[in-house]
Amino acid sequence: MNSRSDEVQGKATALLATVRETGPFAVAYSGGADSALVLAAGVRALGPAGVLALTADSESLAAGELAGARALAESLGAVHLTARTEELSVPGYQANGRDRCYFCKSEVLDTIAAVAREHGFEQVATGTNADDAADPFRPGIRAGRERGIRTPLLDTGLTKADVRAVSRLWTLPTWDKPATPCLASRIRYGIPVTSHRLTRIDRAEKAVREALERAGLRSEQLRVRDLGDAVRVELDNAAAGEAVGLAALAEAVAGAGFGALPLVVDAFASGRLNHEREAADGGR
């Protein structure tokens, strides 16, 4: 093996050691790259009976994510359960302030922990990695710390790049899966989160992807952002340039529930609404 391969193997070995030391746990499992790696590490280190995959199911979960998460868990030999969460009943979540994620994670983790205990698991782990912990826009991490949630990736010092490298080493199909944050993250801060807004974002993203496919365009990243008085579709740079003025894309967004709201097509930027709010706050 070359030095990079040795490094990745070393990180994988360290992760397994962390998981063995942690002991049996339930994973707050979205099916994304991070939580999938925690689940896979649990199966490898503790055996299938030593880990439980629990997916929070609510209006904020994009369509299709649950089926993919279940299929991967089953392929790993892990038991997979869903837990219905009620973020929309939490005023702090509905208000959609900068701490929205804290209220969401609190609801999700409390619900998952209760279901985990019913199945004999006293510990819950998340896919929080070292990059997440360094991100100033992650209030949900505080909710986990308050509850004593385990973070094997962070404890091992794995960054997002490490997560993808170890996942590829273990041939997990999620090794290159784009991030799929909750649908509420597409709504500009200060605009109340409602079931209607979440549903039309989900419909719009599905419709936009279909419109791009019909036009022969492909974009790994895709976000439909609800800005209140407008809607912005963000795509990979190349796709964004070609999609500007694509009538089918505008029709897809309008038909999904955004109607005649002004549409902007732009290049994707992770956490863009966080940075837009930060710039606005700094200008006051």
Q: Is the pLDDT of residue 226 over 70?
A: yes
Do strands 231-235 and 222-226 pair parallel, antiparallel, or not at all (unpaired)? antiparallel
C-alpha 67/C-alpha 51 separation (Å) is: 19
DSSP annotation of 220:
S
Beta bridge partners of 225: 232
Lowest mean pLDDT among 75-84, 153-162, 177-186, 227-236: 177-186
* Sequence letter at residue 215: A
C-alpha 172/C-alpha 63 separation (Å) is: 21
Lowest mean pLDDT among 15-29, 43-57, 128-142, 188-202: 128-142
**Strand, helix or coil at 77?**
coil
Lowest mean pLDDT among 44-48, 129-133, 273-277: 273-277
> What average pLDDT does the chain have?
94
Whether 231 and 224 have beta carbons less than 8 Å apart is answered as yes
Which pLDDT score is estimated for 279? 46
Which pLDDT score is estimated for 284? 37
Whether 234 and 267 have beta carbons less than 8 Å apart is answered as yes
**CATH 3.40.50.620, applies to 3-169:** yes
Pick the closest to residue 226 from 179, 193, 255, 271 (CA basis): 193
Asked whether the CA dihedral 143, 107, 198, 176 is positive or negative, the reply is positive
Which pLDDT score is estimated for 2? 73
Whether 33 and 175 have beta carbons less than 8 Å apart is answered as yes
Q: Is the pLDDT of residue 275 over 80?
A: no
Other CB atoms within 10 A of residue 152 CB:
27
Domain locations in the chain as residue ranges: 3-169, 183-282
**CATH 3.30.300.10, applies to 183-282:** yes
| pLDDT tens for each residue of 97-119 | 999 999 999 999 999 999 999 99
Query: In whole angstroms, how far apart are CA 213 and each of 98, 137, 174, 177, 216?
Result: 34, 33, 22, 18, 5
Ramachandran area for residue 162 (φ above 0: left; ψ -120 to 50: alpha; else beta): alpha
Own/partner long-range contacts of 45-49 (Cβ < 8 Å, ≥24 apart): 45/16, 45/17, 45/19, 45/20, 46/19, 46/20, 48/76, 48/77, 48/78, 48/79, 49/24
C-alpha 267/C-alpha 284 separation (Å) is: 27
| pLDDT tens for each residue of 236-254 | 999 999 999 899 999 999 9
Which pLDDT score is estimated for 256? 97
Mean per-residue pLDDT, 147-156: 97
Other CB atoms within 10 A of residue 91 CB:
7
Whether 107 and 15 have beta carbons less than 8 Å apart is answered as no
Q: Is the pLDDT of residue 136 over 80?
A: no
Query: In whole angstroms, how far apart are CA 216 and each of 92, 164, 178, 232, 238?
Result: 41, 28, 20, 21, 12
Q: Choose between 275 and 9: higher pLDDT.
A: 9
